[in-house]
Structure 1
Amino acid sequence: MRLLPVYRVSVYVPPEHVQRVIDGVCAVDDLRIGAYAHAAWISAPATEQFRPLEGANPTLGGIGELVRAPSVRVEFCIPRDAARLARLVESGIRAHHPWDVPAIFVDETTMPAA
């Protein structure tokens, strides 16, 4: 078995914006894994919480207010390419996510080759 080095990107998205974020990501990159494109995983609903501080431009809640909102985790993997990752984060996720600071996580891992 051959393992491919990949970035695993996870982002938490309000449920009503999941398709918008996925469409934005797929417009920037086809998320190809072997003979499949637009490969992504959408996890069960969860809850995120945050308190906007001075200087924030919150979509939900006000400055100083603790906010809890429904959220869904969206994940995808791409080969380790820093420029590709930067395009996906900026033009694919941030440009289509409703929060001014979305919760985006990037891990370096491996996955079996197709």
Structure 2
Amino acid sequence: MSRLRLHPVHRITVFVPPAHLQALKRGILAVDDLAAGGYAHGMWESAPGREQFRVLPGTASVVGEVGELVSEPTVRLEFCLPRGVPGDRERLQRVLDQGIAVHHPWNSPAVFVEALEFAAP
């Protein structure tokens, strides 16, 4: 039986409208193959949910008008990048700038980056 070890990673979580999920995934993978631990293209998708926001004055929102409470379908997309290795911060920033920001339909996408550990052989 193999033992699980802890590997430092950045977990990136992005919420995206379902209609844009595949384009976002293609954009991310065009920038980085997400290779880690003998695998590549590793991503997790969660069932559609909803996101909500109220557009504030001065915001050029893609959806909704100023003052309107907007509720839209969303999918949670997650993936990991190795952390604590040479070039990891640059790799992460490249994925954020060239993979997510460029291919996400929202002006201010909900993107969360966590430093944690992944248990794997």
- For 1:52, the equivalent position in structure 2 comes to 55
What TM-score do the two structures reach when normalised by structure 2? 0.89
1:58-95 per-residue CA deviation (whole Å, 9 max, x = no partner) reads: 11111221100000000000012211111111110110
Runs of 4+ with deviation above 6 angstroms: none
Amino acid at match of 1:43: S
- For 2:94, the equivalent position in structure 1 comes to 87
Q: Provide the secondary structure at the position in 2 that maps to 1:45.
A: strand
Amino acid at match of 1:37: A
Aligned-partner Cα distance in 2 for 1:32–1:69:
32
Aligned-partner Cα distance in 1 for 2:25–2:93:
16
In percent, how many aligned pairs have the same letter?
52
Aligned length: 114
Aligned CA-pair RMSD:
1.1
Task: Report whether the alignment pairs 1:103 with 2:107.
Answer: no
- For 1:14, the equivalent position in structure 2 comes to 17
Structure 2 unaligned residues grouped into runs of 5+: none
Please say which structure displays the higher CA radius of gyration.
Answer: 2
Structure 1 unaligned residues grouped into runs of 5+: none
- For 1:31, the equivalent position in structure 2 comes to 34
Tell me how far 1:10 sits from its aligned partner.
0.1
